[in-house]
Amino acid sequence: TVVTWNVGTAVPPNDVTSLLHLNTGETNDVDMIAIGLQEVNSKINKRLKDALFTDQWSELFMDVLSPFHFILVSTVRMQGVILLVFAKYYHLPFLQDIQTDCTRTGLGGYWGNKGGVSVRLSIFGHMVCFLNCHLPAHLEKAEQRKEDFATILHVQQFEGRVANGILDHDLVFWFGDLNFRIESLDICFVKYAIDSNVLSQLWEKDQLNIAKSTWPVLRGFQEGPLNFPPTFKFDVGTNKYDSSAKKRKPAWTDRILWKIKSPSTGLGAGKHRPSQGVLSVSQLCYCSHMEYTVSDHKPVAAIFAVQFASKVDKPPVEIYVADEWSRPEQAVVRYKMAVGFHRSSWDWIGLYRVGFRHPKDYVSYVWARSDDGERCVSGLQVMFSEEALPKGNGEYILGYYSNTSSSIAGVTEPFQISLPRSEEGSSPTDSSGSSSEEDDSTLVLLAPKSRSPSPSKMKRHRSRSPSLAKFQGLILRPSSRDRGMSRSPSPQSRHGLSRDIPTIHVPHEELGCCAAKAKELRKAADSLEGSSFYQTVQEQGHPQHVPTDSPLARADPRNLGLLPALRLEMIDKVMGWQQENVDQGYYPCRRMSPTSPPGCGTSPKKGCSP
């Protein structure tokens, strides 16, 4: 299914099931869905919010499609132009070599309000490209539309040995607000033809239909019959064409086309592609959806049946798992890699709840490194720890995430996990399908994990932990249980924290000038002395150790990676040496860090504050 919609900066509607044909039997047979949006609200305040969180439109489509087992494969955005590609979860291992690109054509190529975004990927061994465009508006800009489309085709290039350009792919879907208008005919005749349902009288004056036979750049592109009314321009909130003073002529601006690569295109003499064979595309549906009135455009959808000549039927990674995990020791995963699969030490196996939204929407994970996995008869073997397993009953799926291809290279069929809940009533995952697990003791210090489809690009959450300056003399150490462990598959989390804590020498005069404030801070620190939440510095610099199994010890801010660990000490010897130099009329500059030179600069004038 391919959908295009110029949303006109509108807020998403409450229901898009009819747009995606989810309320019909056709959905049971649909394997992939590509959604192209134009004019998504991209004002500065909205873009800042979308940079931190997933935009409303992407969230809506993920929420609606995930119960139907559609997973977000890839997404790309250029200002208000967005492209999302979804697929059934069991197809994910066969969708490889996923790449995206975008081209700005607004303001001579400097502004992204117009242009094109694309997602290309290998589907069962065949190269397919989805291209979503927003071309220049107005009737007289037909030549500009042609030039911009030619620029997009020329500029967008992908990495790899095959299909470097858009037209090099075996199959291209081109769609979007292409902005082609109806020539010659006046608005009265156009509206008469629409009201009389004689749309065929408008087809020969449609600029895109004319261009397909005259522009070389459009040679080979196909489109179904336009048996639906023009989709632009409507009064927002109604099904009435433009009644404003401008009274724009109705037009089929929103289109969906496709092109099959010629077997001989781009091949030298005597060369052939064994995967090409005979590829056929049949359009089963091509329609607009008049029921959506939030924009001055109506959305357009098309359903295609694509027949490949051959099909890769073996996934890059095969995963074997028991039908049910009722005890923690049963959480064993065996997996085998295909010959030629490019593995990485950053690959991991994710545990997903059935109905997950995207590859990073895991419940827990385990690293799939070669030195971590045990060799077994069927390949490699890893095991989930008891802490990483969700409590309660539910259906789950395992997926092998390849860091090299940024995609899932192997999945299992759904299986059951039935583990008793902890007596304290706290569970690593809640029943609402949260995508991450955290100890209860850390909830005060961690913001909720983002459900963004690109967690690797997530912005850091603002720390809710107390400022270090408010607790003088604190030393924060990782507990032994959590040292070196991480619950997020990021490279930084693979290394343990250093036990060495830097010491900062604070001049006595500096502390003396704020003695009153320091006294208050010492009282605050003393009040925490009996608490196990922090490990305070005791006499002679020996820390007081807290039992590592304590929940509060696990909430140590340094364990969470939220604060640096510093020790504040007063060195009598240093203070004495410093006072002696002051008496002699020389005041050394302050030592700003343990690695800075001890003597630098000149002394300030007499009577000046250091």
Alpha helix segments (H runs only) across 156-311: 187-195, 200-203, 207-214
Amino acid 519: pLDDT = 54
pLDDT of residue 601: 42
Long-range contacts of 595-601 (CB under 8 A, 24+ apart): none
Is CATH 1.10.3720.10 correct for 2-264+277-307? no
> To which H or E segment does residue 155 belong?
helix 142-155
CA–CA distance, 206 with 250 (Å, rounded to integer): 11
Which residue has tokens 């890699």?
A: 337
What topology is assigned to 317-419 in CATH? Answer: Immunoglobulin-like (2.60.40)
Give residue 377's pLDDT.
47
pTM: 0.69
Q: How far apart are the first and last CA of the chain?
A: 71
Contacts of 562 (CB under 8 A, 6+ apart): 445, 463, 465
DSSP code string of 52-120: HS--HHHHHHHHHHGGGTEEEEEEEEETTEEEEEEEEGGGGGGEEEEEEEEEEEEGGGTEEEEEEEEEE
Chain mean position to CA 439? 25
Residues in the chain: 610
- Residue 309: what pLDDT? 83
Nearest CA among 383, 556, 411 for reference residue 471: 556
Determine how many CB atoms are found less than 10 A away from the CB of residue 549: 10
pLDDT tens digits along 199-229 = 999 999 999 999 999 999 999 999 999 999 9
Which residues in the chain come in under a pLDDT of 70?
A: 25-28, 47, 264-277, 370-378, 422-610
Q: What span, in angstroms and rounded, lies between the C-alpha atoms of 551 and 423?
A: 15
Paired sense of beta strands 280-288 and 317-320, if any? unpaired
Q: How far from 13 is each of 19, 64, 453, CA to CA, in Å?
A: 11, 12, 21
pLDDT of residue 475: 43
Reduced to 3 states (helix: H, G, I; strand: E, B; else coil), residue 125 is coil
Tokens coding 49: 């919010």
Domain layout of the chain by residue ranges: 2-264+277-307, 317-419
The Cα–Cα gap between 539 and 393 comes to 51
